[in-house]
């Protein structure tokens, strides 16, 4: 049965002069891939950062399994996250970066080679990440997100920098995870790609919820791109 | 907590920059004792600074007090432990694994205390051995006593722990790595030295002044205007140093607990 795994409840985040997220509410359920879509600056990353306890909401809340991220014990065993910031040290190798993360949550190192193989970074295991391409960094971030074998994945533009093969691989990968009953929340700009990947869609614009529903409800026979442009342009006009 | 501390240790050990810093501290330490031995025994007899040569206990004291002088490296180590997280965006990963930021901070403070201790003990050992080796070229000299070695070791170890912790606090406050390290270097090498030398009433309470008090060795120099009497005695000096550790731990906690991360 699909359960509500992630819930934004009247979430607002005010930076000095920008209301990045405004009274935003949405739900994400298990066993499905949910696309989190919106124009640049819409507030996607901010909402996800609130969800992960990195940013303190001005009001409202963002919940995982009904509680806050920071109340989870050993959170990376429940939630894997890939964010748009670099999350690892350039002076450390891929392996060393993963060991640093794994040891902080007492995760067995034997998983690491497996995960590096999964994201096709075996050849770079002992290379310092300083020399990694954007796509390689993205793959490493994904491997780190999977470190705790989480039931929930929060991915902020994971396709950034991936080559076409990588993008297809990522699509199949998240679909497979959702089929296993996991919860995937994935933000992206690549609408054509998202059309083939997601089951549900949450659209945000200027910090506010614009639309929420299954992909067929949102698209109503149009492409996701057309539906998205309709929804976001109409609202901002 | 144990797991988190292990993770912090890994960061310390994996980073080449940290080993480089340790190497530099060793070089600085060796210079700290060898250079004054050479200078004190040069023909000009201490370059007119009023020190007696290494044939007197005061001369030996003046030389080996420097073996506790590498605390700047402990401070830099602490700064790096904290600011690396912001500089490379690894703070996000660190706090995703452990959202309880106070726990992360405690692990960092302990790691920094340990790193500072290691840096200072290493510096102390290098300074001591290179000083002893240099002295063999200037026999006879006044003995390097066990009491002297103990006093300098005590000051090295405690100052390493305290300044490692202070570094974390400073790093958390300033966030910018280059600014924090530059500030620490200017403070330690210039500002603090001047205050300790010329405004003793304040200087004795600054870290460098307190460390000098804790070293507790009389250089016995009349001309150089130095008297250990003007400094705190070891007991109060230790309290002052622990006070700095406490204040900067609080600063680290306060500044990191609620700050938004991007
Ligand atoms: N740390 C910050 N300080 C001030 N303003 C911020 C900060 N982070 C984000 N903002 C502002 O909040 C708004 C939302 O930004 P956010 O990064 O959440 O958008 P986004 O939907 O992820 O955009 P993109 O698709 O470009 O990644 C923007 O106007 C941005 O300038
Ligand atoms: Mg974003």
Q: What is the pTM of this model?
A: 0.91
Those residues of chain A that have pLDDT short of 50 are: none
Q: In this predicted structure, what is the pLDDT of residue B46?
A: 46
pLDDT at A126: 97
B229 in contact with ligand 1, CB cutoff 6 A = no
Q: Which residues, including other chains, have CB under 8 Å from residue B66's CB and lie 6 or more apart?
A: B32, B33, B36, B127
- Taking CB atoms and an 8 Å limit, are A75 and B16 in contact across chains? no
d(CA A189, CA A161): 12
In this predicted structure, the answer to whether residue B3 has a pLDDT above a threshold of 80 is yes
**CA–CA separation, B194 vs B209, rounded Å?**
11
Alpha-carbon distance A142 to A135, whole Å?
11
B15, B88, B92: residue with CB nearest A54: B92
A159 to each of A80, A84, A153, A155, how far by Cα in Å? 16, 11, 14, 9
pLDDT digits (tens, 9 = 90+) for B201-220: 999 999 999 999 999 998 76
Check CB contact under 8 Å for B89 and A49: no
What is the Å distance from ligand 1's center to A20 Cα?
6
B14 to each of A11, A96, B8, B63, B105, how far by Cα in Å?
Answer: 40, 7, 10, 35, 20
Neighbours of B100 (CB within 10 A): 16
Q: Are strands A183-188 and A152-156 parallel, antiparallel or unpaired?
A: parallel
Show residues of chain B in contact with A99, CB under 8 Å.
Answer: 10
Question: Between chains, do A89 and B84 touch, taking CB under 8 Å as contact?
Answer: yes
Mutate which of A20, A100, A112 to disrupt the B interface (most B C-beta within 10 Å)? A100
Q: Which atom of ligand 1 is nearest to the CA of A207?
A: 14
pLDDT tens column, B22-42: 999 999 999 999 999 998 887
User: Six-digit token pair at B165?
Assistant: 């912790």
Concatenate the DSSP letters of all residues of chain A into one string.
Answer: ---EEEEEEEEEEE-SS-EEEEEEEEEEETTSEEEEE--TTSSHHHHHHHHTTSS--SEEEEEETTB-GGGSSSGGGTEEEE-SS--S-TTSBHHHHHHHHHHHTT--TTHHHHHHHHTT-GGGTTSBGGG--HHHHHHHHHHHHTTT--SEEEEESTTTT--HHHHHHHHHHHHHHHHTT-EEEEEES-HHHHHHH-SEEEEEETTEEEEEEEHHHHHTTS-HHHHHHHHHHHHH-
Indicate left, alpha or beta for A157 from its phi (over 0: left) and psi (-120 to 50: alpha).
left
Residue from B15, B88, B96 whose CB has the most chain A CBs within 10 Å, to mutate: B96
CB of A179 shorter than 6 A to ligand 1: no
Does the CB atom of residue A158 touch ligand 1 within 6 A? no
Rounded to whole angstroms, the Cα distance separating A232 from B78 reads: 48
**Residue numbers in A near B96 (CB within 8 A):** 52-54, 75-76, 81, 87
Whether complex ipTM tops 0.90: yes
- Confidence at residue A179, expressed as pLDDT on a 0 to 100 scale: 96
Closest C-alpha to ligand 1, atom 5: A15
Q: Which residues of chain A have a CB within 8 Å of the CB of B94?
A: 104
How confident is the model at residue A237, as a pLDDT? 52
CA distance linking residue A65 with residue A224, whole number of Å: 29
Q: What percent of chain B has pLDDT over 70?
A: 94
A18 close contact with B: CB closer than 8 A: no
User: Is B188 within 8 Å of B69 (Cβ atoms)?
Assistant: no
Ligand nearest to the CA of A17: 1
Give the mean pLDDT of B151-159.
97
Question: Residue A187 C-alpha to ligand 1 middle, in angstroms?
Answer: 13
Would the pLDDT of B146 be above 60?
yes
By the 8 A CB rule, do A132 and A147 touch? no
**Confidence category of residue B253, pLDDT binned at 50, 70, 90:** very high
Helices (H), chain B: 2-14, 16-40, 57-65, 71-87, 90-97, 101-135, 146-174, 177-186, 192-198, 200-203, 207-215, 234-257
B257 pLDDT band, cuts 50/70/90, is: confident
On whether the CB atoms of residues A85 and B262 are closer than 8 A, the answer is: yes
| Strand A79-82 relative to strand A152-156, pairing | parallel
Q: Give the pLDDT mean for B83-100.
A: 93
- A126 contact B CB<8A: no
Q: Quote the pLDDT of residue B259.
A: 84
**What are the tens digits of pLDDT across the range A133-179?**
999 999 999 999 999 999 999 999 999 889 999 999 999 999 999 99
Mean pLDDT of chain B: 91
Give the pLDDT mean for B182-187: 97
CB contact under 8 A, B261 and A49: yes
Q: Can you tell me which atom of ligand 1 is nearest the CA of A47? A: 18
Spatial distance between the Cα atoms of B44 and B31, rounded to a whole number of angstroms: 20
Ligand 1 near A43 CB (within 6 A): yes
Task: List chain B domain ranges.
Answer: 2-258
Q: Using the mean position of ligand 1's atoms as its centre, give its distance from the Cα of residue B248 in Å.
A: 32
| Non-local CB neighbours of A171 within 8 Å, separated by 6+ positions | A193, A196, A197
Pair of tokens at residue B53: 């040569």
Q: What is the mean pLDDT of residues B228-254?
A: 94
Strands A33-37, A59-64: pairing is unpaired
Asked whether residue B45 carries a pLDDT value surpassing 60, the answer given is no
Are A68 and A8 within 8 A, CB to CB? no
Q: Give nearest CA residue, ligand 1 atom 2.
A: A15
pLDDT at B42: 78
What residue in B sits closest to A96 (Cα-Cα)? Answer: B14
Distance CA B148, CA B109 (A): 30
The answer to whether B158 touches B214, Cβ cutoff 8 Å, is yes
């Amino acid at each position: 049965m699909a359960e509500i795994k992630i819930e934004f409840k009247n979430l607002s985040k005010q930076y000095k002069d920008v209301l990045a997220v405004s009274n935003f509410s949405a739900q994400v359920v298990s066993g499905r891939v949910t696309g989190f879509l919106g124009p640049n600056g819409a507030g996607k990353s901010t909402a996800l950062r609130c969800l992960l306890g990195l940013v303190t909401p001005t009001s409202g809340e963002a919940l995982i399994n009904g509680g806050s991220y920071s109340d989870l014990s050993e959170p990376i065993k429940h939630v894997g996250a890939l964010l748009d910031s670099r999350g690892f040290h350039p002076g450390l190798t891929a392996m060393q970066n993963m060991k640093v993360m794994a040891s902080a949550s007492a995760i067995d190192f034997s998983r690491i080679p497996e995960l590096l193989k999964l994201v096709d970074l075996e050849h770079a295991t002992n290379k310092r990440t300083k020399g990694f391409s954007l796509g390689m960094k993205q793959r490493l971030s994904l491997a780190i997100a999977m470190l705790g074998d989480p039931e929930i994945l929060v991915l902020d533009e994971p396709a950034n920098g991936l080559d076409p093969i990588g993008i297809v691989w990522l699509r199949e990968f998240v679909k497979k995870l959702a089929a296993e009953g996991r919860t995937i929340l994935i933000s992206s700009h690549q609408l054509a790609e998202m059309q083939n990947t997601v089951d549900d869609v949450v659209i945000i614009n200027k910090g506010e919820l614009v639309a929420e529903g299954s992909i067929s409800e949102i698209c109503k026979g149009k492409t996701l791109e057309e539906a998205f442009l309709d929804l976001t342009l109409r609202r901002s006009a | 907590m144990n797991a988190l501390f292990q993770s912090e240790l890994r960061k310390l050990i994996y980073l080449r920059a940290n080993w480089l810093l340790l190497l530099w501290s060793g070089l600085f330490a060796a210079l700290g004792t060898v250079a004054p031995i050479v200078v004190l025994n040069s023909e000009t007899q201490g370059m007119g600074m009023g020190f007696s040569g290494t044939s007197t206990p005061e001369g030996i004291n003046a030389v080996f007090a420097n073996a506790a002088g590498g605390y700047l490296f402990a401070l830099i180590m602490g700064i790096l432990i904290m600011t690396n997280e912001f500089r490379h965006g690894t703070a996000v990963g660190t706090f995703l694994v452990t959202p309880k930021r106070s726990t992360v901070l405690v692990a960092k403070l302990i790691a920094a205390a340990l790193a500072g201790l290691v840096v200072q003990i290493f510096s102390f050992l290098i300074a001591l051995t290179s000083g002893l080796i240099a002295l063999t070229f200037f026999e006879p000299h006044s003995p390097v006593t066990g009491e002297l070695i103990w006093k300098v070791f005590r000051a090295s170890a405690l100052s390493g722990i305290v300044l490692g912790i202070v570094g974390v606090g400073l790093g958390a406050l300033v966030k910018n790595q280059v600014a924090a390290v530059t500030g620490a270097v200017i403070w330690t090498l210039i500002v603090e030295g001047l205050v300790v030398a010329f405004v003793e009433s304040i200087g004795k309470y600054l870290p460098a002044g307190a460390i000098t008090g804790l070293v507790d060795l009389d250089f016995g120099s009349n001309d150089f205007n130095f008297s250990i009497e003007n400094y705190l005695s070891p007991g109060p000096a230790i309290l002052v140093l622990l006070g700095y550790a406490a204040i900067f731990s609080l600063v680290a906690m306060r500044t990191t607990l609620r700050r938004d991360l991007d």
